[in-house]
Chains A and B, each alone.
Chain A
Amino acid sequence: MIRTIIIDDEQPARDLIQAYLKDYADIQVIAECSNGFEGFKAIQEHQPDLIFLDIQMPKITGFEMIELLENPPAIIFSTAFDQYALQAFEKNACDYLLKPYNRKRMQEALEKVRAKLKIEAPQDLDPLLDSYTEAQSDNINRLVVKNGPNIKVIGLHDIKYIQADDDYMAIFTNDGKYLKQITMKRLEQQLPPARFVRAHRSYIVAVEGISKLEQLDKESYQIRLKTEEAIPVSKSGYQKLKGVLQF
């Protein structure tokens, strides 16, 4: 049995997937969710083998949701999402259904999933998320993180700085510290370069919060934030700061 969850905010879209899936005896739909919050909870609770996922949904997008998953199930995107993102799907482990789609297309997607579930290799979503980040021409306005069992949406304006912490990034905001499982590289790519600077191998700093640049000795500096924290600055970080702060 392939245990499946459908996550789409539109009732007719969910109905259609249900109707198509009736053709398959080995697929069991265990939950339907209408937004990313519900979807995240349902996945944590049921640990499904497969999810059907829309991208544009209330509160958090499908992509923001899968970023939070530690052991993501097989994913079939079901979306009317803009063309450019499709290349990202094609290259990666997931399949996608471009709305509207027919039964034949659904069958093809399911065959791919069955083949993948047999191998039972852990899913690596990184390449997909990387290419998605690349395809996002506009910079984002928020980060979505796990906060215990809940989801927290952080506005970029609340972020003071970000510090690498093993496999996690520690995001320091005005109301505390949040951990997000993401690479420094992708995070740096997501953040608008005018507002965030990679000051050090392990640090990204919000430009707005910088109070001053302090010289430690001949060629080493550190940032002093308006909230008093000190952030180390590397040589290349110093050059980047020069560019953004224009001194």
Chain B
Amino acid sequence: MRHPLIGNLGLLIYLIVWNVIIVAHFLVLYKYYELPLDTSITDALTFNVMLCGVGLSYWNVVKYTHVKEGDWQNLFSIHLPASLVAVGICMWPSSIILHLVYNQDVDYISFLEKAAVWRWVEGLLIIWVIILIYYLIKYYDDLQEKSKNEAQLKQLVKEAELDMLKAQINPHFIFNSLNSISSLTITNPENAQEMIVNLSQFLRSSLGKGKEELDTLKDELEHIMLYLDIEKVRFGDRLKVSQNIPDKCAMAKVPNLILQPLVENAIKYGIYETLRGVELNITANCKLENLEIRISNPYDPQGIPQKGAGIGLKNVESRMSILYGKGQWIRIERENGIFTVTLVIPQFENYI
């Protein structure tokens, strides 16, 4: 943080205030104590000009001491000695200078010594006011900084949420599904109606999720089956789904919508890279400490996808490591024309 008084109007105001102090100091000496004019001027200038400089550089003490909000004890234990040192720095040289210049003037020298206490008091009061002003400026700046950071953070969180939503519902999927419905209203209205209901349920549960990070396997699978039912209308015989989930795994916890990208990936490679179609197989296996979910699909080992490896799997991997720390949560195997993704999800509650 830069010096709050330097480089703007602050310095001008600061110097004007000091001028007032110096003039007041001079008037007190000249009118009230009836000291000679030159002595009054010199006395007022030496001490106050030094204090003015020290006051400016005192900012560094405020800047480099980090005191927790409301920790008054600590604040005093720093600034009391520091302000004493600051005033002392001005007292000593100014009194030496005045002694040297006016060593002939016995009256003045004796006044100087008697007035030392008041000079200390004056100096300390001024320094404390300066400290107070510094803290007010600093507090105000911090407040502004904080609200700026908060706004930025909110923006980031919102963007992340939006990205997540985008990732959840593929627009391609939605528009193709709507097109299938449009077609079924002509060829098979009964099925059109069923598909509308399926799609609505799927969208509703997609939108509802995302609040809670974890979901039960049962709910997650229901969601996935809705998705697959819709895809079956689009792809017909080319998509077959089988699943084998032991009942005891039903209440295991899984990150919500974690299966969606895996199933999408399986369909993409199964449907788009082969002409035969795809049989998707979902199985689960649960132990006390973790749940294993396997999704497999046949693929064409000679096939070359149009673009490189999907980001779907990578997203799942990074989401798992955000949730559970670094680890081997996802395994990929390609064997005998079968592509298998195994997801290991740690369990922390006794769910069986």
B307 touches A15 (CB 8 A): no
A142 touches B305 (CB 8 A): yes
Q: Could you mark each residue 168-190 of chain B with 1 if its beta carbon is under 8 Å from any beta carbon of chain A, else 0? A: 00011001101111111011000
Closest to B186 in A: A19
Q: Which of A16, A82, A141, A153 has the largest number of chain B CB atoms within 10 A? A: A16
B275 touches A58 (CB 8 A): yes
- Alpha-carbon distance A82/B238, docked complex (angstroms): 24
- Name the segment of B34-42, B118-126, B266-274 touching the other chain: B266-274
The residue from B181, B272, B303 contacting A56, defined by CB atoms under 8 A apart: B272
B304 touches A80 (CB 8 A): no
Closest to A99 in B: B179
With A16-B183, A100-B182, A140-B306 given, is the CB distance from A57 to B272 under 8 Å? yes
**Is residue A127 within 8 Å, beta carbon to beta carbon, of the partner chain?**
no
**Is residue A150 within 8 Å, beta carbon to beta carbon, of the partner chain?**
no
- Alpha-carbon distance A56/B171, docked complex (angstroms): 14
A58 touches B183 (CB 8 A): no
A19 touches B176 (CB 8 A): no
**Is residue A114 within 8 Å, beta carbon to beta carbon, of the partner chain?**
no
A19 touches B306 (CB 8 A): no
With A58-B274, A141-B305 given, is the CB distance from A10 to B235 under 8 Å? yes
A12 touches B172 (CB 8 A): no
- Alpha-carbon distance A59/B303, docked complex (angstroms): 8
- Residues of B with C-beta under 8 A to A9: 235, 238, 271
- Alpha-carbon distance A57/B91, docked complex (angstroms): 88
- Alpha-carbon distance A155/B305, docked complex (angstroms): 9
**Is residue B308 within 8 Å, beta carbon to beta carbon, of the partner chain?**
yes
- Alpha-carbon distance A48/B126, docked complex (angstroms): 96
A153 touches B184 (CB 8 A): no
A138 touches B304 (CB 8 A): no
- Alpha-carbon distance A155/B273, docked complex (angstroms): 13
- Alpha-carbon distance A100/B233, docked complex (angstroms): 15
- Alpha-carbon distance A145/B179, docked complex (angstroms): 31
- Give chain A's interface residue range (CB within 8 Å of chain B): 20 to 34
**Is residue B93 within 8 Å, beta carbon to beta carbon, of the partner chain?**
no
- Residues of A with C-beta under 8 A to B79: none
**Is residue A11 within 8 Å, beta carbon to beta carbon, of the partner chain?**
yes
**Is residue B337 within 8 Å, beta carbon to beta carbon, of the partner chain?**
no
With A15-B187, A19-B187 given, is the CB distance from A59 to B275 under 8 Å? yes
- Residues of A with C-beta under 8 A to B303: 59, 153
**Is residue B240 within 8 Å, beta carbon to beta carbon, of the partner chain?**
no
- Residues of B with C-beta under 8 A to A47: none
- Alpha-carbon distance A42/B175, docked complex (angstroms): 27
- Residues of B with C-beta under 8 A to A140: 306-307
**Is residue B209 within 8 Å, beta carbon to beta carbon, of the partner chain?**
no
**Is residue A13 within 8 Å, beta carbon to beta carbon, of the partner chain?**
yes
**Is residue B236 within 8 Å, beta carbon to beta carbon, of the partner chain?**
yes
Chain B interfacial positions (CB closer than 8 Å to A): 171-172, 175-176, 178-184, 186-187, 233-236, 238, 271-275, 303-308
Contacts beyond the supplied A16-B186, A59-B275, A60-B306: 14 A-B pairs with Cβ under 8 Å: A9-B235, A9-B271, A10-B180, A12-B183, A15-B186, A57-B272, A59-B273, A81-B172, A99-B176, A100-B181, A100-B182, A141-B305, A141-B308, A142-B305
Chain A interfacial positions (CB closer than 8 Å to B): 9-13, 15-16, 19, 35, 37, 56-61, 64, 80-82, 98-101, 138-142, 153-155
> What are 15 A-B residue pairs whose CB atoms fall within 8 Å in the complex?
A9-B235, A10-B179, A10-B180, A13-B176, A15-B187, A16-B179, A59-B275, A60-B306, A80-B171, A80-B175, A80-B179, A82-B171, A140-B306, A153-B304, A155-B304
